[in-house]
A and B are shown apart, each in its own frame.
Chain A
């Protein structure tokens, strides 16, 4: 209970820091109803605050569908090939499996590659996709920019598989079959979705906020970086969260783009690893867990932020 209340408070605060709630109609409604419901709760403490324990137990049981496979992966990673298979804790905790997996997949290298790609792609996405969204949002009534809007967003509906074969070839010709190529592709391929999320938000930022600066002679670029970009904070957080999760967990793009083994990302190295060493399951599980660990650890500390970020993208 307390958790949700806090997070709804958080999000309404960030929104209120902007003069007008820069959200779609849905978001605004949502905020009002959240406020209304928390007010209602204060008024009728006895009725609304009553926790339903049967439902809580049901939720707890259902959450096992998520937790048990992860727990199973964890205990399996500490066993040996002879004892693996059950849910019981291992008798001897075989941490050695992690050391083996660490070497076999060249873990530090894979993490470093994935980290570099994720960080660069996310930062470049935030720094570039936002101004494209701004330019399109502010001129959507002009035929050229309306065309641009459809030009970018239409590509959202082109599944990656369709361009996969020629793209891999093109990337090869350009010698971009490395981290740099992946970073560029993530920034470019995410543009459609980010535009879609961003434009609605920018349109709800009143233009009057820019006018004062423009009268003082600020250029459009300056207006964007000084006024609009900072106001886009919440939606930038959404874009960042979604980009990080996509890039970090993506498998298909590294699979077809990267040619040099030493550039492999975490997911790709798991694929290579699994097709080579399938017999040693505990080591495999150790390696899977190490591949999941970075995101899981970040998620444990930032879960409220991640969840609300993705949710904001959903109600756009």
Chain B
């Protein structure tokens, strides 16, 4: 992908020449052994901590294991049960629902902020630093701070103003509890995406705007006709990255709702953790994790495509 496509001509030729020479002299010593020492041990450790648990997880998903003690093979029973489990369906629905909303909001706000921070404002660096603060903070802690705000001052404000839906804490309302979760997620992740867009904006040559200005374009046209199209690749990356981040929402759920009220705000990650680690559904939740992986692998595959497309530009 990315780098391999970059490799294209130059190094393919190199490789050709190199292979040719190597064939003439010593076909076996093509690559310095040190390169293998640099990668193979790392690959073994990597496999041990990533691929082994991954394969183990797949294996456990076909058993009735509790995470300890003996177990037997039960074939596809876990998967069949998953598809009939309303709680699981709800978790997937909720995860995708908030992830899409978060991704859309994050991208709209981040692009707006990036354009603003790239415009002719004073104290540019200072503002950029302020807007980046949330990225440096732990989402768990932010979640705790906002839980208090959503639990106490905000309902008090709602009561004072006589707004019904605000008078009660949104966190205890199953219909509205997604709002604080989306809010905290957006608050935290806008920072990083703004930075990505800023990086994108700086790849646009100022002269294009000057030319447009001479032709009589206003700022609005400048944005839609120049900035937005040229930001294209960054929009795709940002959208996919923020979607991927939001699909794994966990910390904010722990901090804000703990999956409640009455399991209304359980994301897939939270469900796997809560029921798999402590809820006695070890094997069942590993099956859930496998399904979750397949869903995310599809998204990852799309991401891979986007990245390699971008690299070719």
Contacts and interface: CB of A to CB of B under 8 A. Distances in A.
Interface of A: 1-4, 6-8, 24-26, 29-30, 32-34, 36-37, 40, 48, 50-53, 55-56, 58-60, 62-63, 65-67, 69-70, 72-73, 76, 84-86, 128, 131-132, 134-142, 144-146, 148-149, 151-153, 155-170, 184-185, 188-189, 191, 196, 199-200, 203, 219-221, 224, 245, 248-252, 255-256, 266-267, 270-271, 274, 281, 284-285, 288, 291-292, 295-296, 299, 303-304, 306-307, 310-311, 314-315
What is the interface residue range for chain B against chain A?
35 or more
Contact of B138 (A135, A196, A292, A315): A292
Interface in B29-80: 30-32, 34-39, 42-43, 45-47, 49-54, 56-57, 60, 67
| The 4 A-B residue pairs with the shortest CB-CB distance in the complex, in nearest-first order | A3-B125, A157-B300, A220-B34, A135-B38
B205 A304 contact: no
Contacts of A63: 127, 130-131
Interface string B116-143: 1101111111111111111111111110
A46 B34 CA distance: 58
Nearest to A222: B34
Contacts of A310: 132, 135, 192, 195
B269 A161 contact: yes
B153 A151 contact: no
Contacts of B129: 299, 303-304, 307
B133 A66 contact: yes
B250 A50 contact: no
B168 interface: no
Contacts of B15: 141-142
A170 B125 contact: no
Contacts of B254: 251, 271
A138 B57 contact: no
Nearest to A202: B3
A136 B39 contact: yes
Interface of B: 1-4, 6-7, 11-12, 14-15, 30-32, 34-39, 42-43, 45-47, 49-54, 56-57, 60, 67, 113, 116-117, 119-142, 144-146, 148-149, 152-153, 156, 187, 192, 195-196, 198-200, 202-207, 210, 247-248, 250-251, 254-255, 268-269, 272-273, 276-277, 282, 285-286, 289-290, 292-293, 296-297, 300-301, 303-304, 311, 313
Contact of A149 (B3, B30, B124): B3
Contacts of B54: 158, 162-163, 166
B227 to A, nearest CB: 13
Nearest to B312: A25
B122 A53 contact: yes
Given A140-B7, A314-B195, A36 B57 contact: no
